[in-house]
Structure 1
Amino acid sequence: MIDSINVKNWMTQEEACEALGVRKQTLYAYVSRGRIEVQGDPQHPNRNLYRASDIATLVKKRSLGRARKNIAASTMAWGEPIIDTRISTVVRGRLYYRGQDAVQLAASATLEDIARLLWNVTDTPRFASFAPIEFDGSIGARVFAALACDAAHDRQTPAAGVANKADQAAELVGRLASNFVELHSNDGPLHLRIAHSWGVARHADLLRRVLVLLADQELTSSSFAARVAASTGASLGASMIAGLAAFSGPMHGNAIVRVRELMDEAKRSGTEPVVRRRIADGEPLPGFGHELYPQGDPRAADLLSAFEAPSNARELIECVERLTGKPPAIDMALAALVEHCPLPDEAAFALFSIARSVGWMAHSIEQVMEGSLIRPRARYVGPAGQ
């Protein structure tokens, strides 16, 4: 039921009542309490339409019931909010950074501007360039190694103040970026230095845009990991590593690996046959659909509107949308950007990590200033003690 709802943007009164299993009076009550958005039907002046994603959310909540174990379980995967934050949120399919639309900000803001906004400081941070450490291993491993010393620094305390923490955070973002990308100077905003280092100066504005769009997204797995570390009094360096560690998994920030596998398979065997086979076999289509954006990821739409995606990416997007109704998510748009520029193989994960590190630091600073320990409980389901 929820999947069928999500492929539509709006529903008629009859469809909404059927999906919810309620009478129209109850539907009106949901609308009056702000739980379902309503708008007039442009084709029928005397009829209203109801936002399908709001109805899908209500259906999902009701299916869980109110049992304590169900409520607790619902917080673990795209469920009920569990942490208060002023940093970012998703409302009716739009991403907001401290109340400002992220897509609108992406039209002109830099990552430094977004750091100032998310960290809630007066001065715009500067992400310094550092010489990358000498390391015999992958670029990803080099980044972890470079951050290791910072992770061992003294514990954080709320008394240090937000401005002091922002200075530390800016240094960490610069160190992370410098070990993903060998930056050649300290001149200019970070996106320009990255573009010059990769030899794609003509695409610098695309890099600026994607860094802004990826800076934060409510409470992701990696942001939660960073907050948990910060809540223990660990340093901001430790929180950065905690965020990056969670982010490195293929179900999160490194989802680009799975998107590329799909794109490569489509190139080898034909786009439509591959998509149809995956659908028939119940296999995922990575890079398409997003739980928080049932009507489409606005970040992906904005990024894809800023350049002409390669023909193979356009063909895949068209095919998946036609056969499943699922629009591209930001991972698909990022993969298309890497091919368009073109960028190095590791660029997608590097860009995503650099951008999201600003969000990890925002969440870590907020958690430190709150001064409380995050310590959930587990519900034991193993064998009884002897």
Structure 2
Amino acid sequence: MLLFYTRGDDMFQKFNSLAIIVICTMFLFVACSKNDTELKDIQRADYLVSYSNAMKNGGYMYAYDKKGNEISKIEVDGQSMMSNAKDEKGYYFSSSRNNIHYAIDKTGKVQEINRPKQLQNVNAGAYFIHAEQGYVYYDVNIGLVDEKKGYTSELVYWKDSDKRQESVELKGTIQGAHIIENHIYAFSQTLDKVYISEIDLATNKKTNEFEIPNENVYFASTAQKIIFQKYKDKLLLALGDNVNQKLPAKLMMINPKTRVVEKETIVDDKQFIPVLVHVSDNNVYILDQDEKMKELDEDLNIIRTYSLQSDKKTKIAREDKGICDIQVQENKIYILYKDMNSKSTTKQLVAEIEGYDLLTGASIEKTTLQLDKKWDDITFLALKE
């Protein structure tokens, strides 16, 4: 499935750049390099979908309605676009294998997101992009530049009201971040450790960094940011045994102020590989790669286990379905699937977005997307609540 990765992937890429804390004021967006810079009639769209490939740049963004009808499209230069975000201002898409990321406003205008001056020439991708509390932030996957420092990344962020970008160096690969009481808490991991780093938004300095116990085997089982979430003033993090595949996955509740793992739940099923953590009405939902859902209470006690019930009328054989992206809106969970079987009769030229009731797992809607060619990476945003 496209959603998963081995910890060696991209971990040893080397980028010739100076990884330092930078603070600079500059233009935040630059014009797209393609001639067309607008997704027309985006207000009519139900979904924004990005298509890209892993080994070369170039792809598309499409706007679709619920029936899968194309409303508009635009050609882009992204490479392996695997993360996205949205806020009241617009939508954001990031590339994991080059430094080209995009912002789309509510009118459909598409612009490339610029970088702080010291990072503009670093052709390193981003594991994630996120928008929260008026801030937008993403990582720059610097790599192994200094043997003493080890693998490093930069967290780039800005507040929409002032457009001034800040950048802070952190250990390892950054795979998610959230804001609590004017502090950013970022989750990152190295080859053997897992960290939470704290950045004070008043000073734009890293004020704390603490290690999450992982027995040297527990790491993120997906490169997606959705296994790291905020629960009131706490943090939730799901990790799996990525080394031996013997220990069951665990879900941890972390107090960022005391830097202590306050609660921890071990998922008994050793085959349970977490791909999503979501909070709704004080309960926590954790989904695995086989679409089995566990609901937990505020003490992280497992209340029940149930499965998503996919519509049997599908253009992709169940055994060939691969999860490309997951989005949650209120009590609906949307999953984008693509055909992973290269010998399939559909020739991989179809994708499906299926919506489920979060509380029951029942399928409630489905959109089929007809593709003009095979794509390695497909992501989407559900635009309407």
TM-score normalised by L of structure 1: 0.26
The structure with the largest strand share of the pair is: 2
Q: Which has the higher helix share?
A: 1
Whichever of the two has the greater Rg, that structure is 1
Structure ranking higher on relative contact order (CA contacts 8 Å, 6+ apart): 1
What is the TM-score with the length of structure 2 in the denominator? 0.26
